[in-house]
Every structure is written in C-alpha cells, then in structure tokens.
Amino acid sequence: MRFNGNRRFNSYVGYFREMYGSRLQKIVIDAGFSCPNRDGSITTGGCTYCNNEAFHPSYSTPDKTISQQLEEGIEFHKRRYRKAEKYLAYFQPYSNTHAPAETLESRYLEALSHPLVAGVVIGTRPDCVDDNKLDLLSKLSQKHIVIVEYGVESIHDKTLQRINRGHNYKCAVDSIIKTAERGIHMGAHFIFGLPGESREEMMQYAIEINRLPLQSVKFHQLQIVKGTIMEKEYASNPNEFTEMSLPQYLDFFTDFLEILRPDIFIERFAGELPPRFVNNNPWGFIRNVELIRMLEKRLEERDTFQSRLFIP
C-alpha cells in the first residue's frame, strides 16, 4: 500500500500539499502563556522531562508582539523553505489555552490578521480546555485553518503521575472527544521511552490511538534534556528507562506503524533538539529529514506499510 508522496506511511506534509496545494510552514509563536503545573494552578515544577527553552527559535520570545514574531519567523523560513507560500502560526511553548477565552481570542486573531497566515496550530494540554474555549476554536475554524495539538505523552496513568503531568489519561480522552464533536482538526503528541514503561506498554499506544478521533499524531523518542528533573532521575536510575538504539527504534516504530489506522497522518516519528540542550543522545545528531529517509528504507526492506496489521 502507498500513501501520498508514494510513501509507505501517511505523511502529514503530503496531506497539506494535497489539501491546500502548497507547503504550509509553521512559525513558532510564544504568546506568553504558562502551564497549570508550573504556575501553581495544579502544582509547580512542570513536567519532569520539559525545558521549553529547548525548542525556542531565536525569533520567538514573549517580549516581542505576535505580529513581530510572525514577521521575523517568515523571513527566517523564507531562506530555508522557499516553496512555502502560506504559514501557520504555531502557538507552541507552554499551554496555549491556559487563559480566559477573551485573552485567547485576542492573541489568535492577531496572528490570523497577518496576510500570509492561513491558520493557527495550538499546542496545549487536555486539562486546559473547556466548552467556552472549544466553542471559540470552533468559531475560528469556520474561516481559518485551526488545529489543536494535545500533549498526551502516555496512555498509562502511572507514567503521567511519575512525570508530573497533573492529569490522567481519561482527561485526555474526554478533551479529544469534545474537540472532535465540534469538528476541529486535532492531533496528539506521545513520547516513547518514558521511565518505567516497557516496549509492550509503548506498543499499546497504537491500540488506544486507533480508538481516538484524531487526524494526526506526533511521536518522539525520549531525549534527556539538560536542566530538567528527569536529567537527575536518569543519572540516579538509568535502568528505569527503556533505551533503544536508532536501528532498534526504527524496527520498533515500523512494528508500531503496522497496527496504526491508515487514515492517521504521521507528523513526526522522532525528535531532534539543539545540541546544547542534550544530556544524552546515543543516536548522534541526525536531522529529521535523514531519519525519515531511514524509516522509509526500513519499511521498504521489510516490505510493509502503515496499517498492514490494523484490525478495525
């Protein structure tokens, strides 16, 4: 079976090209939000693996207006992605629905007012939405591209508690269902290799994802980031972590893809961080484009594809 771009998995980039006729490049926006497990709403300290500075591009800082970040981000990406004609304002750092609906509307509309911005991608937590906020997103989606990206991270409550997420898996399921009921395009994010999880427990993610009304998913391998609580945990108890070499991860993810629904788009299957933030990186510093090439090669070698073993 072949998907868009003649690939053996359902590519998110290919989806956008088919839907909108051109590449849509994300521009990261820091709108000055926080998280409920950082500001004391739930707890403090944040998720044990998280250092938001690790994915902040230089143009994206909260001291700049959203419009200024967009202008600088577009100039930055014009040099790297010359085929991009339109852009998506990606509200990524922290939890971008963690504010009253009136505040959210003002910030989203500022981004959407830019003539080259086709829509918004809103990264947030499943415990940071309610009916008013989802109704706002539904209204905006009538005229613009609106994508909600939920950080789910794990389906196992023992893991969510251990990494200080501050919510359980049922909370994620409930928010995903409520979002889908409003017809809002939606993705979710998961991490492979969180402490205490076996390979079998990670494979269970696919079964759960197949049951959810998601359009897209992002995956990445756990990377031990400098300055995090998990950095200390890893130093003290490395045996609690299921680490995979790059060849092992490629085989693991190929097995995972085989049981994943065919209509789910894969936005990312592995992550990369700026070298200065990485505490432990046994793969070396391999760019995503090379990782995708390696995955495609492994799928070809095994003569398999996404959903080959999927059971409806």
SS3 105: helix
**How far is residue 123 CA from its own chain's centroid?**
7
Interstrand relation of 185-192 and 224-225 (parallel, antiparallel or unpaired): unpaired
CA nearest 272: which of 54, 9, 77?
54
DSSP 178: H
Q: What is the pLDDT of residue 33?
A: 93
DSSP 27: E
Token pair recorded at residue 42: 């739930």
Token pair recorded at residue 112: 């959407």
Cα separation, 206 vs 27, whole angstroms: 29
Q: What is the pLDDT of residue 273?
A: 74
Q: Which uninterrupted H or E stretch holds 189?
A: strand 185-192
Q: What is the pLDDT of residue 55?
A: 64
Cα separation, 232 vs 48, whole angstroms: 10
Q: What is the pLDDT of residue 83?
A: 67
Q: What is the pLDDT of residue 54?
A: 65
Q: How many CB atoms lie within 10 A of CB 249?
A: 20
As a whole number of Å, the end-to-end CA separation of the chain is 17
CA nearest 86: which of 123, 58, 119?
119
**Splitting the chain (312 residues) into consecutive groups of 10 residues, what average pLDDT does each group show?**
86 75 85 91 88 75 93 84 81 95 97 95 97 98 96 98 96 98 96 96 98 95 90 93 93 98 94 73 80 95 97 90
Q: Taken in order 70, 73, 75, 79, is the CA torsion positive or negative?
A: negative
Do 81 and 16 touch, CB atoms closer than 8 A? no
Interstrand relation of 185-192 and 216-221 (parallel, antiparallel or unpaired): parallel
Domains of the chain: 4-301 (3.80.30.30)
